[in-house]
A and B are shown apart, each in its own frame.
Chain A
Amino acid sequence: MNIKKIVTTLVTLALAVSTTTAAIAADITLLNVSYDPTRELYVDINNAFAQQWQKKTGNKVTIKQSHGGSGKQARAVIDGLEADVVTLALAYDIDAIAEKGLIKPGWQKELPHNSSPYTSTIVFLVRKGNPRKIKNWDDLVKPGVSVITPNPKTSGGARWNYLAAWAYALHQPGGNDAKARDFVAKLFKNVPVLDSGARGSTNTFVQRGLGDVLLAWENEAFLAINELGPDKFEVVTPSESILAEPPVTVIDKVADKRGTRQVAEEYLKFLYTDEGQKIAAKHYYRPINTKIPIKLAKLKLYTIDKAFGGWQKAQKTHFADGGTFDQIYAPSK
């Protein structure tokens, strides 16, 4: 047993592998840092864009993807994850990156529709046949109904869930903030477990079989059905919900430094083209171009600006330490 020999072999091996890595990294690459449920969407978008880009310019572009909870991803970009573009769950998370000077102020006006090329909303995923007869938000606060949703502290989707329930209660006849608070408090009494991200919650519901209803992104709910079989789950669209606008933007500091601004901007604009919009519709997002046909049910949607006075305010009132979520949520014993 010659230990010196083993060490030499290992070091040579490491060097050989690392030099090959350097050689591969010569193409143009973009890094798109996104949130959890967009993995499948951006696989398709990236392929389509790369083809188009090559046709137009002759250059090859590879788009790398990174996915995780929206807040966590924003934090990673702030800490130096070199994203050329971010496509996150909510404007608040991108604002946090802009605050650190990585994005120019006023980023949300750079692209049409508050820089959100597609929108989504919050719907219910229930078990096949809807055994609990869940039709609308009121059914979620009934005793004995078990609701699965991720933690609003860490998950963008969960914050949308929370605000959707709040907005629903607020807009009922005689609704006000106090009543909405009671409604959401009652709803969270029915939540047995809080996962940290939207995908975690979906897995809890579909794989582990916990809960009667999952509050989910509309696209996430349909994806789960497609992936796991329509014989097991069905989507229930409530009468009202919230309009979720997941925005996209170029990270100015990174794109300028890496010299990728042009391709990064084209990449985001591609999301607004007919082709990009069709891909979004295919993945059960709601494209902003209303001419693109969608298979999704109509419902009344409240915007965050009208119902809550914008993300900054909503975040402060509801999800900051000591906000309404902290006040109402006590983990069930």
Chain B
Amino acid sequence: MSAPVSSVHKPIKQKDRAQTEPAVVRWLLIATALVFLALFLLLPLAAVFSQAFEKGLTVYLDALKEPDTLSSIKLTLITAAVTVPLNLFFGVTAAWAIAKFSFPGKNLLITLIDLPFSVSPVISGLIYVLIFGLQGWIGPWLQEHDIKIVFAVPGIILATIFVTFPFVARELIPLMEAQGKEEEEAALVLGASGLQTFFRVTLPNIKWGIIYGVILCNARAMGEFGAVSVVSGHIRGMTNTVPLHVEILYNEYNYTAAFAVASLLAFLALITLMVKTVAEWKIRNQVEG
């Protein structure tokens, strides 16, 4: 791993002018923020873990070993394993096109990438039912050829792809725009081919941005509830993802198991946050360098 930026070259920051308020105000603000955080973020997180381990580690592990739970974990992993690489490919392509070239319809493309963010997840699921469902456009044809999309794994993957579509692209576009295209132009002038430029110049520069986008995309792909719920069909042991399975367990008065499975998602969130923080820090270094 090469470090393109060394700390020596970082510009020395000016002292922050915002810190001129009296200490009382500052401490009050900080205290409010901390209390808010504790109440709305840490407390629920602690509740998930305390409920999950309420009846001890054995019950916790048994809850996770249950076949329907395992199958929901497997389905979630499959979904993420298909969704994330596809959206990674799309995201990098789109961001590259948008940041490094100008072409007609560019603004439209940027708007379209944002579409999944502005649409309610229920709608995101419903569009697939409307297209692929038995009463939908191509549902009857699919039925004749015995191809299952909705209420099966492909539908779940499609809905997840739709919902997690913008993450990588959204992350990369501002980063690539900030970096400009001078380095690429230099590479081209020095005789590098398009692909060489991409893999040797562009990619190393956006590496941490990609990781940041991928980790967010992955977290959402594993955690998506609404859109997946619409297309899942809720067949136990077959089309239930982890978030859907948590709801089922909770509805079966199986609170400990529900929170045990939920704690997996909470772990995922914590790991995501950690990687995200590292990536953010590295990106800042890259942009400033």
The answer to whether A binds B is yes
Segment at the A interface, from B3-11, B21-29, B233-241: B233-241
For the complex, what is the distance from the CA of A36 to the CA of B250, rounded to whole Å?
A: 13
Nearest-neighbour CB distance to chain A for B145, whole angstroms, equals 12
CB of B207 within 8 A of CB of A1, answer yes
- Residues of chain A within 8 A (CB-CB) of B84 are 10
- Residues of chain B within 8 A (CB-CB) of A14 are 78, 81-82
For the complex, what is the distance from the CA of A207 to the CA of B253, rounded to whole Å?
A: 9
CB of A65 within 8 A of CB of B253, answer no
For the complex, what is the distance from the CA of A162 to the CA of B207, rounded to whole Å?
A: 59
B134 within 8 A of A: yes
- Residues of chain B within 8 A (CB-CB) of A200 are 251
A39 within 8 A of B: yes
CB of A64 within 8 A of CB of B238, answer yes
For the complex, what is the distance from the CA of A151 to the CA of B102, rounded to whole Å?
A: 53
CB of A199 within 8 A of CB of B251, answer yes
The size of the chain A interface, using a CB distance under 8 A, is 34
Segment at the A interface, from B115-123, B135-143, B175-183, B259-267: B135-143
25 A–B contacts from the bound complex (CB under 8 Å):
A3-B207, A7-B88, A10-B84, A14-B81, A17-B78, A17-B81, A21-B153, A31-B235, A39-B252, A40-B252, A64-B237, A66-B235, A66-B236, A67-B234, A67-B248, A68-B234, A78-B134, A79-B134, A80-B132, A80-B135, A81-B233, A82-B148, A200-B251, A203-B250, A227-B253
B41 within 8 A of A: no
- A212-242 vs B, Cβ < 8 Å mask (1 yes, 0 no): 0000000000011001100000000000000
Q: Which of A69-112 contact B (CB under 8 A)?
A: 76, 78-82, 100
For the complex, what is the distance from the CA of A223 to the CA of B251, rounded to whole Å?
A: 12
A28 within 8 A of B: no
CB of B77 within 8 A of CB of A17, answer yes
Contact among A1, A21, A80 with B134 in the assembled complex (CB-CB below 8 Å): A80
Q: Which of A1-58 contact B (CB under 8 A)?
A: 1, 3, 7, 10-11, 13-14, 17-18, 21, 31, 36, 39-40
CB nearest to A79 among chain B residues: B133
Given A3-B210, A14-B81, A227-B253: A79 and B88 interface contact (C-beta under 8 Å): no
For the complex, what is the distance from the CA of A79 to the CA of B134, rounded to whole Å?
A: 5
Chain B binding site: helix, strand, loop or mixed by DSSP?
A: helix
Chain B: interface size category: 35 or more
For the complex, what is the distance from the CA of A299 to the CA of B234, rounded to whole Å?
A: 36
- A191-202 vs B, Cβ < 8 Å mask (1 yes, 0 no): 000000001100
Q: Which one of A3, A7, A227, A228 has the highest number of Cβ atoms from chain B below 10 Å of its Cβ?
A: A3
Q: What is A's interface to B at a CB cutoff of 8 Å?
A: 1, 3, 7, 10-11, 13-14, 17-18, 21, 31, 36, 39-40, 64-68, 76, 78-82, 100, 199-200, 203, 207, 223-224, 227-228
CB of B151 within 8 A of CB of A82, answer yes
- Residues of chain B within 8 A (CB-CB) of A199 are 251
Nearest-neighbour CB distance to chain A for B268, whole angstroms, equals 16
CB of B236 within 8 A of CB of A10, answer no
- Residues of chain B within 8 A (CB-CB) of A80 are 132-135, 139, 143, 148, 150-151
- Residues of chain B within 8 A (CB-CB) of A100 are 134-135
Q: Which of B140-158 contact A (CB under 8 A)?
A: 143, 148, 150-151, 153
- Residues of chain A within 8 A (CB-CB) of B257 are none
- Residues of chain B within 8 A (CB-CB) of A82 are 148, 151
- Residues of chain B within 8 A (CB-CB) of A21 are 74, 78, 153
CB nearest to B208 among chain A residues: A1
CB of B81 within 8 A of CB of A13, answer yes
Contact among B81, B203, B236, B237 with A3 in the assembled complex (CB-CB below 8 Å): B203
B85 within 8 A of A: yes
